[in-house]
Amino acid sequence: MLSSEQTPLSLVVLISGRGSNLQAILDAISEEGLPARVEAVISNVPDAQGLLRAKKAGIPTAVKDHRKWPQRELYDQQLIKVIDHYAPGLVVLAGFMRILTPQFVAHYSGRLINIHPSLLPAYRGLNTHARVLEAGETHHGASVHFVTAELDSGPVIHQDSVAINREETAATLQHRIHRLEHKIYPQAIRWLAEGRVELVEGKVVVDHRPTANT
Ligand code: GAR
């Protein structure tokens, strides 16, 4: 459980690619007074663009290339070692495209969050934008959630949606959802940093009240 007295909240951010959500978090810290500090950025992909964003912001980076530890359990153990060196209050998955072992998830129970481009529990997995269009949905969105052992699942902390336009393509929808993500991820981290949100017995509790959507 996160401590409400921990201000600023220390974060370790895990990425695999572009790192635009990492950038949104960094911008919210420097420009909007988000009470958090990114202690380190870790990538499983050596040339992830997000690593350059971290370096530019003067944040320590580490690469743990999953190809060097083909066994998932061993890889996650390595990852835990690197993360725990920074003793973060919160581990933030920001486009970290790996399935995590139950051991990893349990180790960070209540302080491991993820962002996913869909209105969870709908559309877990990949290519959500194209799948949502194919299914003829009227709305699409993004969710921030506590991580559980199942892929893209776990109690939702924050969610927002957009209406789908007639002329929408997967690319335009992805762009719009990304912009949404850049708002809701820093917002959810703020709630956590302020001690307004916590995970109690597998349910999200906001201001000491359980939410309806968990
Ligand atoms: C984001 O759209 C995020 O929601 C998604 O990866 C993208 C990373 O973008 N994550 C997942 O699909 C997790 N299942 P970014 O590297 O620019 O932040």
pLDDT in tens, 61-108: 999 999 999 999 999 999 999 999 999 999 999 999 999 999 999 999
By alpha-carbon position, which residue is closest to atom 8 of ligand 1?
Answer: 95
Q: 97-144: per-residue pLDDT in tens? A: 999 999 999 999 999 999 999 999 999 999 999 999 999 999 999 999
- Residue 207 vs residue 145, higher pLDDT: 145
Mean pLDDT (the chain) is 94
Whether 178 sits among the annotated catalytic residues: the reply is: no
pLDDT confidence tier of residue 171, bands split at 50, 70 and 90? very high
CA 11 – CA 86 distance, rounded (Å) = 9
Q: Which of 66, 85, 116, 175 is catalytic?
A: 116
For ligand 1, atom 7, the nearest C-alpha belongs to 95
CB 204: neighbour CB atoms within 10 A?
Answer: 22
In ligand 1, the atom with minimum distance to the C-alpha of 177 is: 2
Kindly list the protein residues whose Cβ atom lies closer than 6 A to any atom of ligand 1.
15, 17-21, 50, 94-95, 115-117, 152, 178, 181
Check pLDDT > 90 for residue 198: no
Per-residue confidence (pLDDT) for residue 209, from 0 to 100: 79
Q: Return the number of other C-beta atoms located less than 10 Å from residue 80's C-beta.
A: 16
**Most informative mutation of 150, 181, 185, 189 for ligand 1 (most atoms within 8 A of CB):** 181
Q: What angle do CA 72, 74, 76 make, to 5 degrees?
A: 70
d(CA 6, CA 122): 33
Ligand 1 centroid to Cα of residue 87, in Å, is 24
pLDDT of amino acid 98: 94
CB 213 within 8 A of CB 33: no
Give residue 152's pLDDT: 87
Q: Percentage of residues in the chain with pLDDT exceeding 70?
A: 96
pLDDT, position 150: 86
- Categorize the per-residue pLDDT at 211 as very low, low, confident or very high, splitting at 50, 70 and 90: confident
